[in-house]
Chains A and B, each alone.
Chain A
Amino acid sequence: MAKVAMTVNGRKVSKECEDRTLLVHFIRDNLSLTGTHVGCDTSQCGACVVHMDGKAVKSCSILAAQAAGSDILTIEGLAANGELHPVQAAFKANHGLQCGFCTPGMVMTAVDMINRYGAQLDEKTVRENLEGNICRCTGYHNIVKAILAAAEDMGAAGRQAAE
């Protein structure tokens, strides 16, 4: 057993877990944050994507112990004060989700993508950057639309803030 401490969604947490515990199971089982999902066992589907120290990671691909001391953001921590994050809002406005199971990973990947590319995102880049996230419901059409809309929205907001 290991005692693992980290910051999750702005809150310091410390839990006992088996040495072999993956970060995703630490988040789901030890912290009861069940928004992060497990959709495969080969790190292909991306349903478990969270942000670790500001970067998107598949939380099934690292041990909880490896994340000790890090700053983790899960889907539950994305909306501020109950207001949907612009990426969440864009997914809703563009019908970018159906069953909702891949959605948390999609949204966390999309936020990371927009952080990296900003308003420079185009459809081809979005599709290539979604390689690691599988959705079986939407055919990606509306997910791509939602991410492009959010990127534009956030770019505009960023420009406004800078002015």
Chain B
Amino acid sequence: MGVEGIGARVARKEDKRFLMGQGRYTDDMSVPGMRYAAFVRSPHAHAKIRSLDTSAAEEMPGVIAVLNGKQMLDDGIGNLICGWMIHSKDGSPMKMGAWRPIAHETVRYVGDAVAVVVADTMGEARDAAEAVVVDYDVLPAVTDAVKALEAGQPQLHPEAPGNLIYDWQIGDGDATDAAIAAAAHVTEMKIINNRLAPNPMEPRAALGIYDSAEDHYTCYTTSQNPHVARLVMSAFYNVAPENKLRVIAPDVGGGFGSKIYIYPEEIVCLWASKRSGVPVKWTCDRTEAFLTDAHGRDHVSTVKMAFDANNRITALKVDTIANFGAYMSLFSSAVPTYLYATLLSGQYAIPAIHANVRAVYTNTVAVDAYRGAGRPEATYLLERTMETAARELGVSPAELRRANFIRTFPYQTPVIMNYDAGDYEASLEAAMQAADWNGFPARKAEAASRGMKRGIGMSCYIEACGIAPSAAVGSLGAGVGLWESAEVRVNAVGTIEVLTGSHSHGQGHETTFAQLVADRFGVPIDSVSIVHGDTDKVQMGMGTYGSRSGAVGMSAIVKALDKVEAKAKKIAAHLMEADESDIVIENGALKVAGTDKTVPWFQMALAAYTAHNLPSGMEPGLKEGAFYDPANFTFPAGCYIAEVEVDPETGKTKIVQFVAADDFGNIINPMIVEGQVHGGIAQGIGQALLEGVHYDPDTGQLLTASYMDYTMPRADDLPSFNVSHQVTPCPNNPLGIKGCGEAGAIGSPPALMNAITDAIGNNDLTMPATPQKVWAAARLAAN
């Protein structure tokens, strides 16, 4: 390992611009003639639009256009789509209702757009939006997914009777039922996974620029995957053909899943730019973000976990109802199916598993992937159940987990996944050591002497990352392949540009990816630049989500580097009149092994471009591209331990320590990986203790629509974290990488809840464990 190569804690190349206020986010972009958009949004959760009167708004100062959904329909702009087909267990395809970018007949959640105003200034646009008069015929609304399935409830889409999108299953139901019937012990629970708002700190924004001279569109947007945005806007929304549409996702201020999807607003900005003849910029405010960004989680499940007399799990049966909101967002259908139920084996050998999942429409904003996407829900369900089972069986939580760990690989679960490598015992051991698990009774006694209730809890998670083998996901209903592309351009002076289809919105790709190249060729990291986020520069890519940029994106770079290296060696061998097989690359030079013959990297590159003296028949230049399609998912896993102190007088939970022991396979930059874990844990702690989206069940009004109402984790809510890594390299990609972006958010909620319920002696507690709930549960347990 060099100081800049694989394994080094290299400070980030991208930091300087962010620290000096020179980051360039979408809302920072201005172009000549640019105007501002403001959306008119439904104040009702469910209503028919009787009429829309824009005449007063059109007369307001500065107003250029007031546009509506009917015009958009007339211009041929298509419906928003969900890109993953799921079939119900009766074989019928999922029931997708129509989603218009701007509603013109029916609104289905508070925040549904009904018109857009384009004006000279943001203030004028907002003033005019207030003056648009919409006459609504208000309909009854339903926000709770369990309730929405009941007879007599409001119906959202004619395509989906009973609000049921699909009723899907996986696994062997008969074998599972038989094992449960024969079990020595069955642990049963109802598990609620609370609804969350992703809240990247940069609100969404879009700038649509129509160039009438070229009949060409440019869209700056806050996207995690600009190429997918271009593909979908072109192929499905009929905004413009791909060759006439450039999508740029410049610096993006966090995503966490919520910026994967193509939202109505970017489509509208492009369309409105053509209609109104001016570039149109829209910037979301935070309340609008709470109302319209896709939310996460919102599952209600029942679970039965069966054990034999030796405390071995014999079966797992799960029934889940997933709230999808008012419309099917881009990846929504895959989240509670192939990203959730396929992980229900956890780290355990479970012979029989069956899961049934019903996806349901409600009058709330769309629900889709949020950091972890399905895997936090699976882990929370399993690890709360394991902890509960340990308490019921009277064994230690660590021993129960150890007794059931998968220990030989590859391991085929009953729910599709084939785990390729792992050492779950190693992470469990490391976490227990780091947390001084055995010293807990003394700490609990000491806390009790101060009147505090101390508890400890663990969680052993597994996730599937490196999304995903294209043929496999295609057979499961995915509308796209999930490979990644890379192009490596060696310039004539030897500097290197790497073009990647991955997108960085905080993950530090400009550093990590450059480390990979510096390590490979021994060139200075500053001579390597990473280019991403622009469809005019990078040909194609699938973007960043599902912890895929390392395992899939960097694997594509490795493939391209292999080709560059092969050609570079040919050139060097020719220049030094040596055999190609004798050439080695070391410290920025190509050498003939065992001799003092050497050609500096830059000289080889120059030779490739001068082309004065190349091997016979070789094309000039040095630029290679590659597509990498993963052979399997990757399976990061680990063990998290939380220790808490609950004040029984106030119900306030203090996190005394939080330990994370993760196996991400090989690691390029430990500093960046640790940062990913810290952030993930904070979001997981947020889910467990603080965060929860609440809609009024009668009116469908969003009650948590600002930072005054939705509790974001603050610095004084959190401890510093104790993070370590155990390494079993992934055997299925060239770098042995598994992925680290989501683990923290997946592993932490059950560890926290297991700790709090341990502290208060009452297992009946839902997330977020607010002081009020904890106080009440502790009182119940004490009485």
Q: Which residues of A come within 8 Å of B, CB atoms?
A: 18, 20, 25, 28, 32-42, 44-45, 47, 74-76, 78-79, 84, 88, 91-93, 95, 97-104, 107, 123, 126-128, 130-131, 133-145
Contact of A138 among B18, B24, B678 (CB under 8 A): B678
Please name all residues of chain A whose beta carbon is closer than 8 Å to the beta carbon of B202 when the two chains form the complex.
Answer: 37, 39, 99, 101
Q: List 23 A-B contacts (CB under 8 A).
A: A34-B21, A34-B24, A34-B28, A37-B253, A40-B286, A42-B706, A44-B707, A76-B20, A76-B21, A79-B20, A92-B16, A98-B254, A98-B506, A100-B14, A100-B15, A100-B18, A100-B23, A101-B201, A103-B18, A103-B19, A123-B720, A139-B682, A143-B715
Task: Assess A139 versus B15: contact at CB under 8 Å? Given A35-B23, A76-B21.
Answer: no
Chain B 188-243 interface residues, beta-carbon cutoff 8 Å to A: 199-203
Q: Are A39 and B203 in contact (CB under 8 A)?
A: yes
For the complex of A and B, the 3 pairs showing the least CB-CB separation, nearest first, are A35-B21, A101-B253, A100-B18
A121→B21 CA distance, assembly (Å): 25
Hey, which bits of chain B sit against chain A, CB under 8 A? 11-12, 14-25, 27-28, 30, 121-123, 199-203, 251-254, 256, 283, 285-287, 505-508, 671-672, 674-675, 678-683, 706-708, 712-716, 718, 720-721, 744
> A74 contacts B21, CB within 8 Å?
yes
* In contact, B201 and A134 (Cβ under 8 angstroms): yes
Known: A99-B200, A134-B714. A40 touches B16 (CB 8 A): no
Q: How far, in Å, is B659 (CB) from chain A's closest CB?
A: 13
Contact A18 B201 (CB under 8 A): no
A141 to B18, CA, bound (A): 18
Give the residue of B11, B287, B707 whose beta carbon is less than 8 angstroms from that of A93: B11
The residue of chain B having its C-beta at the shortest distance from the C-beta of A82 within the complex is B20
Known: A25-B122, A97-B18, A99-B200. 13 other contacts (CB 8 A): A32-B30, A35-B22, A37-B253, A41-B706, A47-B201, A75-B20, A95-B674, A99-B201, A99-B252, A99-B253, A101-B23, A104-B18, A134-B714
**Contact status B123-A18, CB under 8 Å:** yes
Minimum CB–CB distance for A147 against chain B, Å:
10
Q: If the complex has contacts A35-B21, A41-B286, A138-B675, are A97 and B15 also in contact, measured as CB distance less than 8 A?
A: yes
What B residues does A136 contact at CB under 8 A? 199-201, 254, 256, 679, 682-683, 712
Residues of the A chain whose Cβ atoms lie less than 8 Å from the Cβ of B712 = 44, 134, 136
A34, A93, A102, A139: which contacts B718 (Cβ < 8 A)? Answer: A139
Question: Is B16 a contact partner of A84 (Cβ separation < 8 A)?
Answer: yes
> In the complex, which residues of chain A have a beta carbon less than 8 angstroms from the beta carbon of B679?
98, 136-139
Chain A residues with CB below 8 A from B285, complex form: 38, 40-41
B671 (CB) vs chain A CBs: closest residue: A95
Q: Please, which residues of chain A bring their CB within 8 A of the CB of B505? A: 99
- In the bound complex, do residue B19 and residue A107 qualify as a contact, i.e. CB atoms below 8 Å apart? yes
What A residues does B716 contact at CB under 8 A?
A: 127-128, 130-131
Q: Is the CB–CB distance between A39 and B12 below 8 Å?
A: no
Residues on A with beta carbons closer than 8 Å to the beta carbon of B706: 40-42, 44
A98: which of B11, B16, B507, B720 is its contact (CB, 8 Å)? Answer: B507
Once the chains are docked, how many angstroms separate the CA of A147 from the CA of B143?
43
Please, which residues of chain B bring their CB within 8 A of the CB of A123?
Answer: 720
Q: Could you tell me if A95 and B23 are in contact, using CB atoms closer than 8 angstroms?
A: no
A92, B12: Cβ atoms under 8 Å? yes
**Distance, CA A37 to CA B27, complexed state (A):** 9
Q: Are A84 and B20 in contact (CB under 8 A)?
A: yes
Distance of A34 Cα from B718 Cα, bound (Å):
30
CA distance A48 to B409 in the complex (A): 51
A78 to B19, CA, bound (A): 9
Task: Determine how close the nearest CB of chain B comes to the CB of A37; give it in whole angstroms.
Answer: 7
Q: Which residues of B contact A101 (CB under 8 A)?
A: 23, 25, 200-202, 253-254
Within the assembled complex, what's the spacing in Å between the Cα atoms of A34 and B29? 9
Contact A33 B21 (CB under 8 A): yes
Q: Which residue of chain A has its CB nearest to the CB of B28?
A: A34
- Within the complex, the shortest CB–CB distance from A120 to chain B, in Å, comes to 18
A39 B286 Cβ-Cβ under 8 A? yes
A92-B19, A130-B714 given; A100·B707 CB < 8 A: no
Q: For B20, give its contact among A18, A88, A130, A138 (CB under 8 Å).
A: A88
Asked if A104 and B720 make an inter-chain contact with CB atoms under 8 angstroms apart, the answer reads: no
Residues of B with C-beta under 8 A to A143? 715
**Do the beta carbons of A98 and B508 come within 8 Å of each other?**
yes
The answer on a CB contact under 8 Å between A127 and B715 is yes
Which interface residue of B16, B287, B714 has the most chain A CB atoms within 10 A?
A: B714
- A140–B707 CB distance below 8 A: no
Contact check, B508 vs A36: say whether CB atoms are below 8 A apart.
Answer: no
User: What residues of A have a CB within 8 angstroms of the CB of B256 in the complex?
Assistant: 136
Cβ–Cβ < 8 Å partners of B23 in chain A:
35, 100-101, 103
Min CB gap A14→B, angstroms:
19
Chain A min CB distance to B703 (Å): 14
